[in-house]
Amino acid sequence: MVDLSVNLNGFKLKNPIITASGTYGYADEYDDFINVSELGAIVTKAISIEPKKGNSGERLFETYGGMINRIGLENVGIKEFISKKLPTLKDKNINFIMNLAGSSVEDYIKAAEVAQNAGIKAVEVNVSCPNVKQGCLEFGTNPNSLGHLTSEIRKIYKGFLIIKLTPNVADIESLAKSAESNGADCISAINTLKGLGVKIEITPDKNIKKTFVQGGLSGKCIKPVALSMVKRIKSSVQIPIIGIGGISTVDDVLEFLTVGADAIQIGTENFRHPDVTIKIKNELNNIIESLNLKSLDDLKRKLRNE
Ligand SMILES: Cc1cc2nc3c(=O)[nH]c(=O)nc-3n(C[C@H](O)[C@H](O)[C@H](O)COP(=O)(O)O)c2cc1C
């Protein structure tokens, strides 16, 4: 029997396969495809204090090896999450991480308080949201703002605290260090890259119709950026790292483990293959067995020549 379990600084997963926020709803959406409780964990869609309708107009744009989305953090809001979604996750015995979004430090603090009172074991803080009070800069682009946000959440929330970094920065190392030194238990990376989809169509009356979709790029095409970010984060912090970005095969998982990820999240690929997570989990098990190793930890050591 191969031991696929992971212990992320006290937060335990039965395997390293997690689904990424925004691509897995609140889990029941995937019931027809897989037994979700077999996953290491799922990350919920971003949850904000108030419900959000998200953006109007075109929200998705398919591009080479990926997609651009501008969903705009549509979500049911924290009250409905606690009253309606949380009982289902508990009934089905699904290990989950709550993804938090906000546009001011106060928003995040309120959400962290609710998470703490509801006994939620793990939260992932999405810091790619615009900080309205600081002129719409993202929290995740400035080490001081990120440090302040992390320490304020840490004062209230005692569970497993993951800070999810955005790749839209020059110096990811400083941001990771700031999250770690202000109390984060884990870093997850990366969120989507800023991208623009442009579609030009010639209409029957010989005019040109232009569509622009400015949003977050995800999927296979971002994997090299994500691998580079994870490797750089690994060289600057001691806390565990969850690697995210363009994972669609077990080979991708091996690459992320090699550069320093302790667990991984799969996002966009779920839309193409809703059972990809379980397939990868089984293949990972087989690879470990074929190498005559006993556990995921053994595999990580071998990949990293430790
Ligand atoms: C449609 C869509 C919605 C997303 N919504 C969120 C979100 O609410 N919160 C968040 O932290 N990340 C969100 N993300 C980012 C993903 O969780 C993930 O970080 C990113 O897509 C990279 O992984 P992938 O290439 O495997 O999709 C979203 C991504 C997509 C494609």
* pLDDT greater than 90 at residue 201: yes
- Give the Å distances, CA to CA, from 68 to 64, 116, 175, 222: 10, 33, 24, 11
Provide the strand spans (E) within the chain.
Answer: 6-8, 11-13, 17-19, 41-43, 60-63, 66-69, 96-100, 122-126, 130-131, 137-138, 160-165, 186-189, 193-202, 208-218, 241-244, 263-266
* % of the chain exceeding 90 in pLDDT: 86
Q: Is the minimum distance from the CB of 45 to ligand 1 under 6 angstroms?
A: yes
Lowest mean pLDDT among 43-47, 124-128, 133-137, 138-142: 133-137
Q: Quote the pLDDT of residue 129.
A: 76
H-type helices in 61-100, by residue range? Answer: 78-80, 86-91
Q: Which atom of ligand 1 is nearest to the CA of 126?
A: 11
Q: Which atom of ligand 1 is nearest to the CA of 191?
A: 19
Say if pTM beats, i.e. exceeds, 0.95.
Answer: yes
What confidence category does residue 137 fall into, taking pLDDT thresholds of 50, 70 and 90? low
Q: Strand, coil or helix: what is 217?
A: strand
Q: How high is the mean pLDDT of the chain?
A: 94
Q: Which atom of ligand 1 is nearest to the CA of 266?
A: 26
Rounded to an integer, the average pLDDT of 157-174 is 97
Which of 26, 81, 191 to mutate for ligand 1's pocket (most ligand atoms within 8 Å of CB)?
191
Distance 172 CA to ligand 1 centre (A): 18
Distance 294 CA to ligand 1 centre (A): 32
| Bond from prior residue into 190 cis (ω within 30 degrees of 0) | yes
Q: Quote the pLDDT of residue 25.
A: 86
Q: Strand, coil or helix: what is 6?
A: strand
Rounded to an integer, the average pLDDT of 142-163 is 97
Which of 218, 220, 265 to mutate for ligand 1's pocket (most ligand atoms within 8 Å of CB)?
218
* pLDDT greater than 70 at residue 132: no
The span from the CA of 138 to the CA of 166, in Å, is 9
Q: Strand, coil or helix: what is 212?
A: strand
Active site residue 186: no
Contact, 239 vs 180, CB < 8 A? yes
Distance 293 CA to ligand 1 centre (A): 33
In this predicted model, what pLDDT tens digit does every residue of 53-90 receive, in sequence order?
888 888 999 999 999 999 888 889 999 999 999 999 99
Contact, 107 vs 48, CB < 8 A? yes
Q: Quote the pLDDT of residue 136.
A: 59
Lowest mean pLDDT among 65-74, 123-132, 292-301: 123-132
* pLDDT greater than 90 at residue 208: yes
Q: Is the minimum distance from the CB of 19 to ligand 1 under 6 angstroms?
A: no
The span from the CA of 282 to the CA of 70, in Å, is 33
Distance 305 CA to ligand 1 centre (A): 31
* pLDDT greater than 90 at residue 275: yes
Q: Quote the pLDDT of residue 6.
A: 98
The conformation of residue 118, written as its DSSP 8-state character, comes to T
Amino acid symbol at 43: V
| DSSP-derived pairing of the beta strands 6-8 and 17-19 | unpaired
* pLDDT greater than 70 at residue 252: yes
Q: Which CATH architecture has domain 6-55+72-193+219-303?
A: Alpha-Beta Barrel (3.20)
Contact, 126 vs 97, CB < 8 A? no
Residue 239: name the closest of 9, 30, 6, 15 by CA: 9
Q: Which atom of ligand 1 is nearest to the CA of 73?
A: 8
Residue 124: name the closest of 50, 186, 54 by CA: 186
Angle at the Cα of 278 (from 275 to 279), degrees rounded to 5?
80
